[in-house]
Amino acid sequence: MANIRALLVGLSRARGSLAEAGRCASMRPSLLASVGGHYKVPMPARWFSTGLPPHLVVGMPALSPTMNQGNIAKWRKQEGDKIEVGDVICEIETDKATLEFESLEEGYLAKILAPEGSKDVQVGQPIAVTVEELDDIKNIPADTSFGGEQKEEQSAESAPKTDAANASEQSSVVSRISPAAKLLIKVHGLDVSSLRASGPRGTLLKGDVLAALKSGSISIPAKEQKAPATPSSQPTRNAQAQPATTSQKADTYEDIPNSQIRKVIAKRLLESKQTTPHLYLSKDVVLDPLLAFRSELKEQHGIKVSVNDIIIKAVAIALRNVPEANAYWNSEKEEAQKCDSVDISIAVATEKGLMTPIIRNADQKTISAISSEVKQLAEKARAGKLAPNEFQGGTFSISNLGMYPVDHFCAIINPPQSGILAVGRGNKVVEPVVDSDGNEKAAAVTKMSLTLSADHRVFDGQGNFSRSWHRISATLGDCYCKWKEVAIVF
């Protein structure tokens, strides 16, 4: 190992630039190799040797295709510890889950640059330094900086920021006023000339007025300062107390820190609503045949499955029978593209946010197999241990709130998928039914609300949309004997 590193250093010197030769700003997702829940990643590092013993500067790896920053959740190795090939160095919270960062190099951890709990560490940013020999640790001064490039970038960015600050001071003169700011000025009788505008093109915003009220650096016109002769002084005292009350109300909030996962969820949901034309269709289906089928599985065959497991199977069968609905919209080609497999994403609520583990080839699996896989994936999702291949992809999503007092709701499509089914709880209702004799009578039935959110570019009202929706609702509400035929259980 030492000979290999010496050779690499020699080659780098021959090229004339050690820093450029060893640069690896980020790890490509294609280099990921998931082995037993661990992630073997070539450590993004830079070689250095001038003035210091040979060492590696380890950068923040990209542990998912969409990751551009991460958080250091926990350091498994501490400064001075021996690192073997395959050892977990630290746990990194990405935009999807908390993953373990394995080393493919051996050596010693000389210095931790990003301490435990560090937030929003950019991909490629140095997080640690390793050396070959234990004695080399003491030869690396504690005050040595390994983030020179970032400091240069920060200093380069400081000049534009200064110019921007000067420009903002020049544009603080009020040239226009927002409606909310006008209302506050009118209510409090403020002098516009004493206010500073922070909005674009000298626009006075509501926040500017509230900030002025809070600081007290405002002047009240003379007309407002004169107290009326006849009325009592009570209104004056109220008027003077109003700014303080407004200031107190403005301060009554608390910032809630977001995890990396929640930030990405918020961004994706907003993009989905802004860029995907959502089309909605709701229907109540009779749940009694499904419940009877579920009871038989438990009583006669000892198989315990949930209603959600059967819904997954029903949706998978419907997508298999209507392949045009098992598709996504290709923005580059501006056309819908069919998916080769039916992969159902299941919404699972966790402490860090909503995760969507995937049941691959759900149409080919038995209900019992689906039930077992759902339990395993949900447990891993709540523990933050999902592998990338277990939550990336999917062709259709299901969000079930039937276990909560939610009758019906509309779910947001998870791009690039083209559909998501929102499932509400089952309710007992009384409605007319026709008995075996052809007579109509009142009877209590269990109904469940389904709402399909679909990408209108892929689904159209007269084509695959109506056919796939009919398949889903018919499969769920079909007669008892049909379920024994279509649901492969054993």
Q: What is the pLDDT of residues 48-60, one digit of tens each?
A: 545 678 888 888 8
For residue 386, name the pLDDT band (cuts at 50, 70, 90): confident
Q: Which amino acid is at 203?
A: T
Instruction: Say which residue the tokens 């038995």 belong to.
Output: 366
The arithmetic mean of pLDDT across residues 327-333, rounded, is: 90
User: Which pairs from 406-410 meet CB under 8 Å and 24+ separation?
Assistant: 407/449, 408/282, 408/449, 408/451, 409/451, 410/278, 410/280, 410/451, 410/453
Confidence of residue 40 (pLDDT cuts 50, 70, 90): very low
The two counts, helices (H) then strands (E), for the chain are 14, 23
Which of 232-241, 290-299, 321-330 shows the lowest mean pLDDT across its residues? 232-241
Output the six-digit token pair for 140. 């690396």
Q: Which two tokens stand for residue 447?
A: 């109904």
**Which of 14-28, 78-92, 118-132, 142-156 has the weakest average pLDDT?**
14-28
The reply to whether omega before 416 is within 30° of 0 (cis) is yes
Q: Per residue in 186-200, pLDDT tens?
A: 887 887 777 888 777
Could you give the 3-state DSSP secondary structure of residue 270? Answer: helix
How far apart CA 334 and CA 357 sit, in angstroms, is 28
- For 295-316, what is each residue's pLDDT tens digit? 988 888 888 999 999 999 989 9
Residue with tokens 């506050």: 184
Q: Which long-range contacts (CB under 8 A, 24 or more apart) does 99-104 make?
A: 99/39, 99/63, 100/37, 100/38, 100/39, 100/76, 101/39, 101/41, 101/61, 101/63, 102/38, 102/39, 102/40, 102/41, 103/43, 104/40, 104/41, 104/42, 104/43
In this prediction, residues 406-415 reach a mean pLDDT of 93
pLDDT mean over 446-465: 81
Task: Kindly name the residue from 55, 407, 460, 478 that is annotated as catalytic.
Answer: 460
Say whether 20 sits in a helix, a strand or coil.
Answer: helix
DSSP β-ladder status, 82-83 and 98-102: unpaired
Helix (H) or strand (E) holding 47: strand 45-48
Q: Taking Cα atoms as reference points, which of 116, 131, 106 lies closest to residue 48?
A: 131
- DSSP 8-state class, residue 373: H
Question: What pLDDT, on a 0 to 100 scale, did the predictor assign at position 325?
Answer: 87
Q: What is the dihedral of CA 110, 113, 117, 120, to 10 degrees?
A: -140
Q: How confident is the model at residue 472 (pLDDT cuts 50, 70, 90)?
A: low
pLDDT band at 467 (very low <50, low <70, confident <90, very high): low
Whole-number Å distance between alpha carbons of 280 and 24: 46
**Choice among 38, 278, 408, 456 that is catalytic:** 456
408 is catalytic: no
Residue 477, CA distances (Å) to 226, 245, 288, 432 in order: 75, 58, 8, 16
The pLDDT of residue 353 is above 60: yes
Q: Is the pLDDT of residue 127 over 50?
A: yes
User: How confident is the prediction for the chain on average, in pLDDT?
Assistant: 75
- At 143-163, the pLDDT tens digits run 666 664 444 444 444 445 444
Checking if the pLDDT of 27 tops 90, the result is: no
Q: Does residue 13 carry a pLDDT above 90?
A: no
Q: Are the C-beta atoms of residues 55 and 131 closer than 8 Å to each other?
A: yes
Predicted confidence (pLDDT) per residue in 220-279, tens digit: 555 444 444 444 444 445 545 555 555 555 557 788 877 777 888 888 899 999 999 999
Q: What's the distance, Cα to Cα, between the start and end of the chain in Å?
A: 53
Instruction: With a cut of 60, say whether residue 33 has pLDDT above it.
Output: no
Residue with tokens 């959502």: 278
Q: Which amino acid is at 134?
A: L
Enter the pTM of the model. Answer: 0.58
Residue 407 catalytic? no
Residue 33's DSSP bridge partners are 40
d(CA 24, CA 47): 10
**% of the chain residues with pLDDT over 70:** 69
Contact 430, 418 (CB under 8 A): no
150: amino acid identity, one letter = Q
Angle (nearest 5°) at CA 438 between 435 and 442: 45
224's CB contacts (< 8 A; 6+ apart) are 189, 239
